[in-house]
Amino acid sequence: MEHSLSQKIFAKISSPSQFAIDVAIILLLSTITFWLAQKYDAFEYLVEFSRAHEEYEIDEILTLLMIASFAFAAVAYRNGSRLKLEVLKRRKVQQSMKKMAFYDSLTGLPNRELCINRFEHILNQSARTSESAAVLFIDLDNFKEVNDNYGHDAGDILLKQFSERLLGQLRKGDTLSRFAGDEFIILLESVGSINNVTILAKKILDCIQTPFQINANETTIGMSVGIAMYPNDGQEASVLLKHADTAMYHAKNEGKNTFRFYSNELNKQARNKLIIANQLRQAINSDEFTLHFQPIIDVISKNVKGAEALLRWESKVLGNVPPDVFIPIAEEVGIISTIGEWVLLQACQQSKHWHNLGYNDFIMSVNMSAKQLGREDFINVVESCLKKSELPAEFLELELTETTIMKDVSSALCRLEKLRKLGVSIALDDFGTGYSSISYLRKLQISRIKIDRSFIQHIPENKEDIAITKAIISLARNLSLNVTAEGIETAAQQKFIDNTIVDSAQGYFIGKPMLPSIFESLFFKDKH
Ligand SMILES: [Mg+2]
């Protein structure tokens, strides 16, 4: 109470608006005094008073009044300064008390109380925004040994360095707290998917692999991490912390220096993902990738005019892993660009080989991901693949989805322009499933759209899909764009497409993705 009062006073003293009010009051008082002095002729009154009482000289009265005013001003100033100093002193004490109450004195991190408080705040926020949050319960493995071997001071140094390393891995807004002894808590808000949490857990485990320098000694330490997710593993801070703690014990039991989710399902997902990511890293060198080629035919002549290159992965450890499983993981762990570059070069070389066989108008289509398009060196990579394979640029078509382009429209526009200058053409893949922003069709410098299979698959029975497909075709044609219909799987669908102004088609009815040798035997018979 006393504190808040002095704070208020201090705020008043130091506030610029209060200073302006004070000046206004002084001016007002001076004006009133001046007006009263004028109206009642104060000086005349003083002279009268001095005449009536001979013992009081007028100059003495004035001197007395001046001394009294100065003394009053001096006392007021002294008291004001004292009050200011007192308030500052108390504020300092209060700040250090607050720090002691809510922050850990060794690491400077939020302590248990502040951590729980923040966690409750995060959960309230997550409930409002329907976003997920995560709590990571961290316990150092065999920390006691450090204390026993090197002493408690060394243990303290280690804890400090450990917390600094962890902080370096977190996003702004994430909370790292020292919960107790060698227990730490990380709070993550708006985490998105569990994959992001898995990646962070892996990152913090990796970041402590380098030994810690403690005085003259180097030492390594492990940690066990238990993870609970809001809202799946609980709604309240206490429940989630308890579950993260349980998960941490599972991590300890399963060999330490690892992480575990509270939910078994999430554990399985995270484990699978890590296994796939590890295998993916060696897939190129172990020759586990192959390219399959799906024929694209000219609707009128029915001749093959090109193919879409599709990546297949036959892992020596995991067997056949479908692209929709491994591509997102390759994107997450940052190896999609390496894989994408390999695909592009292989596809260009294969295409060049077919050109050499005499099919010199064959067009190779290669899918590009947002991560690839987003790279600074993307154009250089395309250029170098064309150079290495000696494939002329006009026979390469890159397939991009609208979502890929919309991730960063301005840099995508700039790169597409450069590709066009190189002579490479661009196809908008899966058209109709993304933003389908018609105004962008013009700006994007694309030469082809590929109508998504989802529109074709219910043709001819679904009249609405027929209407949509016809509308897309006529829109594209009016914009002078070529059109490929994807997902032709029946004779009826082929017949429907034959009666439109689509120029090319692709799908199981025409040919599945296949190895180059089979492709040659099926489609390049005449030149063999
Ligand atoms: Mg495609």
Q: What is the DSSP letter of 444?
A: T
Compute, in angstroms, the gap from residue 289 CA to the centroid of ligand 1. Answer: 18
Confidence of residue 526 (pLDDT cuts 50, 70, 90): low
Residue 369 CB neighbours (<10 A): 19
Q: What is the mean pLDDT of residues 224-240?
A: 93
Per mean pLDDT, which range of 94-98, 156-160, 202-206, 499-503 is the poorest?
A: 94-98
Pair 95, 134 in one domain: no
Compute, in angstroms, the gap from residue 197 CA to the centroid of ligand 1. Answer: 30
Is the pLDDT at 323 greater than 50? The verdict is yes
Compute, in angstroms, the gap from residue 287 CA to the centroid of ligand 1. Answer: 23
Pair 437, 376 in one domain: yes
* Residue at 357 is within a domain: yes
Q: What is the 3-state secondary structure (H, E, C) of 466-517?
A: HHHHHHHHHHHHHCCCEEEECCCCCHHHHHHHHCCCCCEECCCCCCCCECHH
> b/e per residue, 5-42, with b = 16+ CB within 10 A?
ebeeebeeeeeeeeeeeeeeeeeeeeeeeeeeeeeeee
Query: Where in 166-323 does DSSP place strands (E)?
Result: 175-180, 183-188, 212-214, 217-219, 222-230, 259-261, 289-298, 304-315, 319-321
Pair 358, 233 in one domain: no
Compute, in angstroms, the gap from residue 527 CA to the centroid of ligand 1. Answer: 28
pLDDT confidence of residue 322: 94
Is the pLDDT at 164 greater than 50? The verdict is yes
Compute, in angstroms, the gap from residue 180 CA to the centroid of ligand 1. Answer: 53
Q: What is the mean pLDDT of residues 462-473?
A: 91
Compute, in angstroms, the gap from residue 35 CA to the centroid of ligand 1. Answer: 90
Q: What are phi and psi of 147, to 5 degrees?
A: -60, -45
| Nearest alpha carbon to residue 381 among 419, 326, 329, 408 | 419
Q: What is the mean pLDDT of residues 386-395?
A: 96
Name the residue with higher pLDDT: 479 or 445.
479
100-150 tens-digit pLDDT: 789 998 999 999 999 999 999 999 999 999 999 999 999 998 888 888 888
pLDDT confidence of residue 425: 94
Compute, in angstroms, the gap from residue 433 CA to the centroid of ligand 1. Answer: 13
Q: What is the mean pLDDT of residues 369-393?
A: 92
CATH number at residue 493: 3.20.20.450
What is the maximal distance between C-alpha atoms in the chain? 140
Compute, in angstroms, the gap from residue 366 CA to the centroid of ligand 1. Answer: 7
Pair 156, 32 in one domain: no
| Nearest alpha carbon to residue 365 among 280, 446, 453, 476 | 446
Pair 83, 43 in one domain: yes
| Nearest alpha carbon to residue 224 among 196, 247, 242, 199 | 247
* Cα–Cα distance, 445 to 417 (Å, whole number): 7
Compute, in angstroms, the gap from residue 465 CA to the centroid of ligand 1. Answer: 20
- If you compute the radius of gyration of the chain from its CA atoms, what whole number of angstroms results? 38
- Average pLDDT over the chain reads 88
Compute, in angstroms, the gap from residue 36 CA to the centroid of ligand 1. Answer: 93
* Residue at 40 is within a domain: yes
35-45 tens-digit pLDDT: 877 777 777 77
Compute, in angstroms, the gap from residue 502 CA to the centroid of ligand 1. Answer: 17
CATH number at residue 131: 3.30.70.270
Compute, in angstroms, the gap from residue 380 CA to the centroid of ligand 1. Answer: 22
Name the residue with higher pLDDT: 52 or 350.
350
| Nearest alpha carbon to residue 454 among 478, 429, 476 | 429
Confidence of residue 11 (pLDDT cuts 50, 70, 90): low
Compute, in angstroms, the gap from residue 460 CA to the centroid of ligand 1. Answer: 23
Compute, in angstroms, the gap from residue 367 CA to the centroid of ligand 1. Answer: 5
Q: Is the dihedral of CA 494, 498, 499, 503 positive or negative?
A: positive
Compute, in angstroms, the gap from residue 285 CA to the centroid of ligand 1. Answer: 25
Compute, in angstroms, the gap from residue 430 CA to the centroid of ligand 1. Answer: 7
Compute, in angstroms, the gap from residue 221 CA to the centroid of ligand 1. Answer: 47
Helix orientation angle between 42-52 and 58-102, rounded to the nearest 10 degrees: 120
Amino acid, res. 70? F
Confidence of residue 450 (pLDDT cuts 50, 70, 90): very high
Cα→Cα distances 53→60, 65, 350, Å? 13, 17, 123
* Cα–Cα distance, 108 to 102 (Å, whole number): 9
Compute, in angstroms, the gap from residue 270 CA to the centroid of ligand 1. Answer: 28
Compute, in angstroms, the gap from residue 364 CA to the centroid of ligand 1. Answer: 11
Can you give the length of the chain in residues? 528
Compute, in angstroms, the gap from residue 429 CA to the centroid of ligand 1. Answer: 5
| Percentage above 70 pLDDT, the chain | 95
Compute, in angstroms, the gap from residue 404 CA to the centroid of ligand 1. Answer: 12
Compute, in angstroms, the gap from residue 477 CA to the centroid of ligand 1. Answer: 20
Domain that residue 310 falls in: 283-527
Q: Which residues pair with 514 in a beta bridge?
A: 293
Compute, in angstroms, the gap from residue 291 CA to the centroid of ligand 1. Answer: 13
Compute, in angstroms, the gap from residue 482 CA to the centroid of ligand 1. Answer: 15
Confidence of residue 98 (pLDDT cuts 50, 70, 90): confident
Give me 457's structure tokens.
């698959």
* Residue at 49 is within a domain: yes
Compute, in angstroms, the gap from residue 166 CA to the centroid of ligand 1. Answer: 41
Decide which of 101, 136, 158 is a domain's last residue: 101
* Cα–Cα distance, 369 to 340 (Å, whole number): 8
Compute, in angstroms, the gap from residue 456 CA to the centroid of ligand 1. Answer: 15
* Cα–Cα distance, 424 to 429 (Å, whole number): 15
pLDDT confidence of residue 1: 40
Compute, in angstroms, the gap from residue 308 CA to the centroid of ligand 1. Answer: 7
Percent of the chain that is helix, strand, coil (3-state, to 5): 55, 20, 25
Give me 214's structure tokens.
């403690």
Compute, in angstroms, the gap from residue 450 CA to the centroid of ligand 1. Answer: 8
Task: Decide: 456 and 486 in contact? Cβ < 8 Å.
Answer: yes
Confidence of residue 317 (pLDDT cuts 50, 70, 90): very high
Confidence of residue 527 (pLDDT cuts 50, 70, 90): low
Is the pLDDT at 198 greater than 50? The verdict is yes
Name the residue with higher pLDDT: 431 or 394.
394
28-70 tens-digit pLDDT: 888 887 887 777 777 777 778 777 877 777 777 778 878 888 8
Cα→Cα distances 480→87, 361, 456, 501, Å? 76, 21, 22, 12
Contacts of residue 1, Cβ cutoff 8 Å, sequence gap at least 6: none
Q: What is the mean pLDDT of residues 351-357?
A: 95
Compute, in angstroms, the gap from residue 341 CA to the centroid of ligand 1. Answer: 16
* Residue at 106 is within a domain: no
Confidence of residue 351 (pLDDT cuts 50, 70, 90): very high
Pair 87, 211 in one domain: no
Number of domains in the chain: 3
* Cα–Cα distance, 398 to 41 (Å, whole number): 97
381: exposed, middle or buried (Cβ count in 10 Å: 0-12, 13-18, 19+): middle
Bridge pairing between strands 133-141 and 482-485? unpaired
Is the pLDDT at 435 greater than 70? The verdict is no
* Cα–Cα distance, 195 to 324 (Å, whole number): 15
* Cα–Cα distance, 335 to 276 (Å, whole number): 12
Confidence of residue 14 (pLDDT cuts 50, 70, 90): low
Q: What is the mean pLDDT of residues 447-470?
A: 91
Pair 464, 382 in one domain: yes
Is the pLDDT at 216 greater than 90? The verdict is no
Pair 254, 304 in one domain: no
Pair 316, 400 in one domain: yes
Report how far apart the first and last C-alpha atoms of the chain are (Å, whole number).
Answer: 96
| Percentage above 90 pLDDT, the chain | 51
Q: What is the mean pLDDT of residues 400-411?
A: 82
Name the most confidently modeled range: 1-15, 21-35, 172-186, 251-265: 172-186
Compute, in angstroms, the gap from residue 301 CA to the centroid of ligand 1. Answer: 22
Decide which of 52, 76, 101 is a domain's last residue: 101
Decide which of 79, 101, 123 is a domain's last residue: 101
Is the pLDDT at 2 greater than 50? The verdict is no
DSSP-derived 3-state class of residue 105:
coil
